[in-house]
Amino acid sequence: MEEEEEAKMNNQQEKSQKKNAILVDGVILNGPVADSKSGEKFVEEVNKIIMEEVVKKASDATEKVCEWQSPEQLRTLLDLELKDTGESHPKLLQLCQDVIQFSVKTYHPRFFNQLYAGIDYYSLAARFITEALNPSVYTYEISPVFLLVEEAVLKKMIEYIGWEGGDGIFNPGGSVSNMYAMNLARYKYFPDIKEKGLSGIPQLVLFTSEECHYSVKKAASFLGIGTQNVYFVKSDDRGKMIPEELEKQVQHARNEGSAPFFVSATAGTTVLGAFDPLNEIADICEKHNLWLHVDASWGGSALLSRRHRKLLHGIHRATSVAWNPHKMLMAGIQCCALLVKDSSGLLKRCYSANASYLFQQDKFYDISYDTGDKSIQCSRRADAFKFWMTWKALGTTGLEKRVNRALALVRYLVDEIKKREGFQLLLEPEYANICFWYIPPSLRKMEKGHEFWEKLSCVRKFL
């Protein structure tokens, strides 16, 4: 009886809704857009899966790092195809489970990689907030909190570099930071470039070490400078740029009539973890009026450790610095800052396009907070926030401990390698990169000549 009445009422309600419906082009405009209750439920269910399968397993070294499947196998295991009709929630939840199951657990205590150092609960929580709020950090009116947060983080990073002031912008990666710096440098020396381009300007030449990150070459190509105008400076046997060689190369470039403008030193190289001698390089840059960029994407984190910041001795003399807190400091991908010593507004002058639909000049607040025009992007993610949250939670001393612990672990592993048969250390590490050979039993007695190294370099085949 009650059910019948309810059905009747629902029916009446439906009819009345249909009667009042605003119908345009076959769409009922005042009907519900999405079933929000069921949507909320779905998000809650996925959150539960994430807590169980990811967050709570993150500290468990007995779990697998990865359930390896070849591309061909994985394709058959996952239902990847996008179809005309949607899937049910139970099916979607199973897909979420599958995605997690077959993904690499980058937070795993046994996963070793330059980009990862475990799970950070604070930055993770902050990233959930960012995703839920879905901001775009270009103008204050749309991202008030995140712009102030970015300002606070940049200020602190600049303080740790040792500059009195400066400017900066979070952007999608160390590679992009290096591009920003390279373009900024050429704009500083040749401001006409922005309008006129490279034609009519002497051949620009830049310098970096043989051990630099490959993004320096990518940047030179992308910016129209060309990879052959990247002059690679010899490194010593520890992977550090040799200042005398830099001096020679700069002289050589000048003699051939090119225009040297930019040196990209590396603080923490990709393979060996080497730190270029910044002070000596800064002397050369000052002498020749060159922009000194330090790619500290990897090594920058050491600045937070009183014990290890000497690795970056001289960094305060840099003109710009790339620093990625998403690596050793675990802020989550991506969290990368380009920092610039200039505080006269160079970054904005170089990158602004003054789009009138977005960066109106007659707003009712201080438009210096509309930092979007310093960027090559239009919409931009709030990447500073996750690092800010971790810093808030741990304090500088907590971040310092993180760095000290990483480098203490390196000391321990190096000692273990030295003690263990069949392992050979390549060189004493300066930072968190430990390069060693595993020598399989079949090669252990062999003389270390040509054949030995040949065979060792394809050791996978022998295992």
Q: Please, which residue, 108 or 317, has the CB nearer to its own copies?
A: 108
Smallest gap from residue 191 Cβ to its own copies (A): 11
| Contact status: 176 vs its own copies (CB under 8 A) | yes
User: Which of 235, 270, 301, 371 is close enough to bind its own copies by CB under 8 A?
Assistant: 270
Q: Please, which residue, 62 or 199, has the CB nearer to its own copies?
A: 199
Q: How far apart are CA 311 and CA 447, in angstroms?
A: 36
Q: How far apart are CA 181 and CA 293, in angstroms?
A: 7
User: Which of 94, 248, 309, 376 is close enough to bind its own copies by CB under 8 A?
Assistant: 376
Question: How many CB atoms are closer than 10 A to CB 123?
Answer: 24
Go through the chain and tell me how many residues it has: 463
User: Which of 299, 332, 337, 347 is close enough to bind its own copies by CB under 8 A?
Assistant: 332
User: Which of 301, 319, 320, 334 is close enough to bind its own copies by CB under 8 A?
Assistant: 334
| Contact status: 428 vs its own copies (CB under 8 A) | no
Nearest Cα neighbor of 413 from 431, 399, 440, 439 is 431
Q: Please, which residue, 160 or 275, has the CB nearer to its own copies?
A: 160
50 DSSP 8-state letter? I
Q: How far apart are CA 339 and CA 156, in angstroms?
A: 11
- Helix then strand then coil, % of the chain, to nearest 5: 50, 10, 40
234 DSSP 8-state letter? P
User: Which phi and psi (to 5°) does residue 373 adopt?
Assistant: -80, 5
Smallest gap from residue 6 Cβ to its own copies (A): 23
| Contact status: 224 vs its own copies (CB under 8 A) | yes
Site residues for its own copies, 95-124, by CB under 8 A, read 95-96, 98-100, 102-107, 113, 115-116, 118-122, 124
User: Which of 94, 162, 188, 217 is close enough to bind its own copies by CB under 8 A?
Assistant: 217
Smallest gap from residue 44 Cβ to its own copies (A): 6
Q: Please, which residue, 88 or 445, has the CB nearer to its own copies?
A: 88
110 DSSP 8-state letter? T
User: Which of 225, 233, 337, 443 is close enough to bind its own copies by CB under 8 A?
Assistant: 225
Q: Please, which residue, 215 or 320, has the CB nearer to its own copies?
A: 215
Smallest gap from residue 317 Cβ to its own copies (A): 24
Task: Find the helix or strand (DSSP H, E) in which 5 lies.
Answer: helix 2-20
Q: How far is CA 448 from CA 2, 453, 455, in A?
A: 90, 7, 10
Smallest gap from residue 47 Cβ to its own copies (A): 5
| Contact status: 407 vs its own copies (CB under 8 A) | yes
Q: How far apart are CA 131 and CA 47, in angstroms?
A: 13
Site string for its own copies, 59-78 (x = CB under 8 A): x------x-xxxxx-xx--x
| Contact status: 145 vs its own copies (CB under 8 A) | yes
User: Which of 81, 164, 237, 421 is close enough to bind its own copies by CB under 8 A?
Assistant: 81
Q: Please, which residue, 281 or 324, has the CB nearer to its own copies?
A: 324
From 151-159, 245-253, 420-428, 442-450, span contacting its own copies (CB under 8 A):
151-159
From 240-248, 313-321, 326-334, 420-428, span contacting its own copies (CB under 8 A):
326-334
Q: Please, which residue, 182 or 281, has the CB nearer to its own copies?
A: 182
User: Which of 94, 162, 221, 452 is close enough to bind its own copies by CB under 8 A?
Assistant: 221
Q: Let me know the angle formed at the C-alpha of 168 by 124 and 313, rounded to the nearest 5 degrees.
A: 90
CB burial string 303-340: b at 16+ within 10 A, e below: bbbeebbebbebbbbbbbbbbbbbbbbbbbbbbbbbbb
User: Which of 162, 189, 223, 455 is close enough to bind its own copies by CB under 8 A?
Assistant: 223
Does a cis peptide bond (omega within 30 degrees of 0) precede residue 334? yes
| Contact status: 165 vs its own copies (CB under 8 A) | no
Smallest gap from residue 365 Cβ to its own copies (A): 5
Smallest gap from residue 447 Cβ to its own copies (A): 25
User: Which of 12, 13, 343, 397 is close enough to bind its own copies by CB under 8 A?
Assistant: 397
Q: How far apart are CA 168 and CA 158, in angstroms?
A: 9
Q: Is-contact 127 386, C-beta < 8 A?
A: yes
Q: How far apart are CA 158 and CA 151, in angstroms?
A: 11
| Contact status: 424 vs its own copies (CB under 8 A) | no
Q: How far is CA 404 from CA 122, 124, 401, in A?
A: 20, 22, 5
| Contact status: 298 vs its own copies (CB under 8 A) | no
Q: Are strands 336-340 and 320-323 parallel, antiparallel or unpaired?
A: antiparallel
Total residues at the site for its own copies (CB under 8 A)?
Answer: 159
| Contact status: 80 vs its own copies (CB under 8 A) | yes
Site residues for its own copies, 19-58, by CB under 8 A, read 22, 24-27, 29, 33-34, 36, 39-40, 42-44, 46-47, 50-51, 54-56, 58
Q: Is-contact 207 260, C-beta < 8 A?
A: yes
88 DSSP 8-state letter? P
